[in-house]
Structure 1
Amino acid sequence: MPKITPFAAVRPTRDKAALVTSRSYDDYSAAELAAQLDFNPFSFLHVLHPGYVNVQKNDPTKRFGQVRSKYTDFKSEGILKKETQPILYLYEMQSKSRSYTGIIAGVSIQDYLDGKIKKHEDTLEYRVEQFEEYLHITGFNTEPVLIAYPENKTLSDWISQTKSRRPLYLFSSPNRDRHTLWRIKEPAQIEWLQSEFAKIPSLYIADGHHRSASAALLYERDKDTGNANLSNFMALLVSEEQVKINEYNRVIRDLNGLNESEFLKKVSASFDIRNLGQELWKPTHKGEFGMYLNGNFYALKPLNQTSTVDAQLLYDELLAPILGIGDLRNDGRIEYIPGNQPLTKLVEWVDSDEFEVGFTLFPIAFQEIRELADRDEILPPKSTYIEPKIRSGLVIYEL
């Protein structure tokens, strides 16, 4: 049965938690990133993006070395501190529309390899290898894998009771989300939680397939070094009803040598097409697709239900045979936009000179994800954009 493990985390001092933690630096525009780095010397973005003016000019090995060096500086300056003993955490994030609560723990890479922690989505090979190298050089990870467990009243009652205790951190981030963190350090509490999770047949990766795959790759690479921390990776474990699933939309750089008329004719052989003009439109049901091409939106409905998974159906019926998209894990002609971004983002990308056509999908339900994972079936990469997302620098797992 799946095993959870306490670990000696590195984290901000209590007085600096709100200043240190950040969104992932990929979420910031260039202007936002510059402002954070210029005016907040405690931001973890200084670690993730050291020497931000020139860092992108450096090769990955040198860049990851700079991350490691800046991380060491933050520890030596007392901005970050390490726990004196292995513990667990309870984390809550409250936004204007939702609230999420989960347990932060180490989970076993062997459980992941044995299929007790189940995956549902394929990965992009270059990203797995790149992040494995990042972990190897930097020696830490601050983005836990989001793992879902079936609804569990016993754990829910324990979480409600624990939230009545005085937290370690309670702060608001600039986007007005509220973040609370409690330490779970009592041995009896840790053992009880371990025994409760041991009763759960399977856990499911909701978000973080690349991070978990990279951790497993690093484990295989360095497991003979005697570093016990490599045997686990950090996870945020949440009840599956708290998982918020958005789709990932697709944009393609060209029409595979076709002009617009030829492309639409080929699409119409496999899909019923409705031209919606300039109306901003996204699918409202499973089995529908939106398409944006040359200033117009189209609603697509497949003529043949060749797959029950929308992302796979779109690939099988359109992306591969018509647009010539090959290996989704490595093809440079396709990019992905998370579904929590406004539809105008896709319009902006397609209207630029870089992309020719965009596709929108309907979000998959978690029940479908669980059923696919139980059958050992894998979704195409970038099929789901899942929340919650924990802030970088809040809890750090050292390798």
Structure 2
Amino acid sequence: MSFDPSLIRPFAGLRPRSADAAAVAAPPYDVLSSDEARQVVIDKPLSFLHVSKAEIDLPPEVDHYAPEVYARSAENFGRLIAAGVLCRDPLACYYTYRLTMGEHVQTGLVAVASVAAYDSNRIRKHEYTRPDKEDDRVRQIEALNAQTGPVLLAHPDSAEAERLVGQGTDRLPVADVTAADGIRHTLWTIDDAETITRIGAVFAAMPTLYIADGHHRSAAAARVAAARRVRSGSSLSAEFFLAVIFPAAQMRIMDYNRVVRDLNGLSEESFLAAVGERYTISPSPFPVKPERTGVCGMYLGGRWYRLALLPGRVPLSDPVRRLDVSLLAEQILGPLLGITDLRRDTRIDFVGGMRGAAELERRVNSGEMAVAFAMHPTPMAELMAVADAGLVMPPKSTWFEPKLADGLVSHVLD
């Protein structure tokens, strides 16, 4: 089988001068609330949050989706360019992006990925998107005439891809930033013509790429491309979206835990008894960190319990139903706690694994929540299996760490 060599392309990135990279780099727009972002940018006039979350520069009562937010975003973006803080590379190139979080290191390729491959499912999805969030990203792209938030992609194992992408990392980087959370973001340019050609060929031979994070950004890019085809016939740059592509084996998925507000009218004793019909329950003096599929931790009434699903309850042939988040929903959340719509039910909330067991304990001990569940992280192979089957995962199934920074490279639509 042959594949279109335009799965990915190099591009002339818009990026901060090396001296300004630390001042510009910002957390992704969707991991901070507006109030949190306002605090982060105090005394940081160059922070890319002024572009990605421009409501922070407007009165708090302004709706986050109001036209003036996108206008302010474009104004702030233009100001950074006019001041020379953001400069565009003269020639199309790739970039190597390395994330370092403690002992964990992952090295990937910054490129633009094909909208056509996304539309044909060669770039595979595993989540539903929300129209309001898609609309927001469409308006942002159109206001800036640029894609500024990279989509996180994974590629199948390829020693040659890893070698080519990593071979220039012994040179001086164009950006080297250690963020407030301790995560190091390092960027190198790949501007050698022969290497660019070889990288394109290696990726062209890959049957698929997988969206890890950024479903709304990729969907929005596809909508912008379709609209521009109608308006102007074609726009080559709009037919690609900004992405960072890591080897699947290097990517780190953390647990995405659940907290529930009440026990659906059950007492703690009757709830434990009902859980015991489905799981083997073992009290634990310590927070439970599930070691395998079919095991989760539960914090209830000031105590931790290890729950091990009874034999025969894992549907191994179904790539969605065998996920731990699905097992919890089918065995406890739905039948015992009455939570059947994880997207809309306000009785459930989700806690990323970076916050640790202490956050689960805090939410329950405060009385805000009645019970917490510590989940086993979804393996990357399971995500890929769901995407390959053309299925979607339950909400809040994966939490990728470390996360990419906004502002280190943007893709201008010519």
Q: TM-score range by the shorter chain?
A: 0.7 to 0.9
Task: Provide the rounded CA distance (Å) in 2 between the counterparts of 1:215 and 1:47.
Answer: 18
Partner residue in 1 for 2:271: 263
Partner residue in 2 for 1:337: 351
- Matched ranges for 1:323-362 at <5 A: 323-362=337-376
Q: Quote how far apart the aligned CAs of 1:29 are.
A: 8.7
Equivalent of 2:210, from 180, 192, 204? 204
SS at match of 1:57: coil
Q: 1:288 to 1:49 in 2, by over 3 A?
A: same
SS at match of 1:370: helix
Q: Quote how far apart the aligned CAs of 1:337 are.
A: 1.4
Paired residues of 1:121 and 1:382 also in contact (CA < 8 A): no
Larger displacement relative to structure 2 (91-100 or 128-137): 128-137
Q: Quote how far apart the aligned CAs of 1:84 are.
A: 3.0
Task: Provide the rounded CA distance (Å) in 2 between the counterparts of 1:189 and 1:181.
Answer: 17
Q: 1:290 to 1:128 in 2, by over 3 A?
A: farther
Q: 1:232 to 1:17 in 2, by over 3 A?
A: same
The aligned amino acid for 1:339 is G
Larger displacement relative to structure 2 (116-125 or 247-256): 116-125
- Matched ranges for 1:1-399 at <5 A: 1=3, 3-24=7-28, 33=37, 36-50=40-54, 52=56, 55-59=59-63, 60-61=65-66, 62-123=68-129, 126-226=132-232, 227-276=235-284, 279-303=286-310, 304-306=313-315, 307-399=321-413
Task: Provide the rounded CA distance (Å) in 2 between the counterparts of 1:195 and 1:13.
Answer: 30
Task: Provide the rounded CA distance (Å) in 1 between the counterparts of 2:189 and 2:132.
Answer: 36
Task: Provide the rounded CA distance (Å) in 2 between the counterparts of 1:255 and 1:138.
Answer: 47
Q: Quote how far apart the aligned CAs of 1:259 are.
A: 4.2
Q: Deviations over 1:176-226 (max 9, x none)?
A: 444332222344432322111111111122222333233334444554233
Gaps (5+ residues) in structure 1? none
Paired residues of 1:251 and 1:346 also in contact (CA < 8 A): yes
SS at match of 1:52: helix
Q: Deviations over 1:338-391 (max 9, x none)?
A: 112211112222334543322111112222333332222332121111234221
Q: 1:187 to 1:308 in 2, by over 3 A?
A: same
Paired residues of 1:124 and 1:329 also in contact (CA < 8 A): no
Task: Provide the rounded CA distance (Å) in 1 between the counterparts of 2:275 and 2:190.
Answer: 55
Q: Quote how far apart the aligned CAs of 1:235 are.
A: 1.0
Task: Provide the rounded CA distance (Å) in 1 between the counterparts of 2:33 and 2:62.
Answer: 20
Paired residues of 2:183 and 2:402 also in contact (CA < 8 A): no
The share of aligned pairs that are identical, in percent, is: 33
TM-score (norm. length: structure 1)? 0.88
Q: 1:348 to 1:19 in 2, by over 3 A?
A: same
Q: 1:335 to 1:166 in 2, by over 3 A?
A: same
Task: Provide the rounded CA distance (Å) in 2 between the counterparts of 1:195 and 1:188.
Answer: 11
SS at match of 1:151: coil
Paired residues of 1:125 and 1:329 also in contact (CA < 8 A): no
Gaps (5+ residues) in structure 2? 316-320
Q: 1:376 to 1:29 in 2, by over 3 A?
A: closer
SS at match of 1:371: helix
Task: Provide the rounded CA distance (Å) in 1 between the counterparts of 2:198 and 2:365.
Answer: 55
Task: Provide the rounded CA distance (Å) in 2 between the counterparts of 1:114 and 1:184.
Answer: 28
Q: Quote how far apart the aligned CAs of 1:394 are.
A: 0.5
Paired residues of 1:22 and 1:392 also in contact (CA < 8 A): yes
Paired residues of 1:124 and 1:330 also in contact (CA < 8 A): no
Paired residues of 1:126 and 1:330 also in contact (CA < 8 A): no
Paired residues of 1:149 and 1:239 also in contact (CA < 8 A): yes
Q: 1:66 to 1:88 in 2, by over 3 A?
A: same
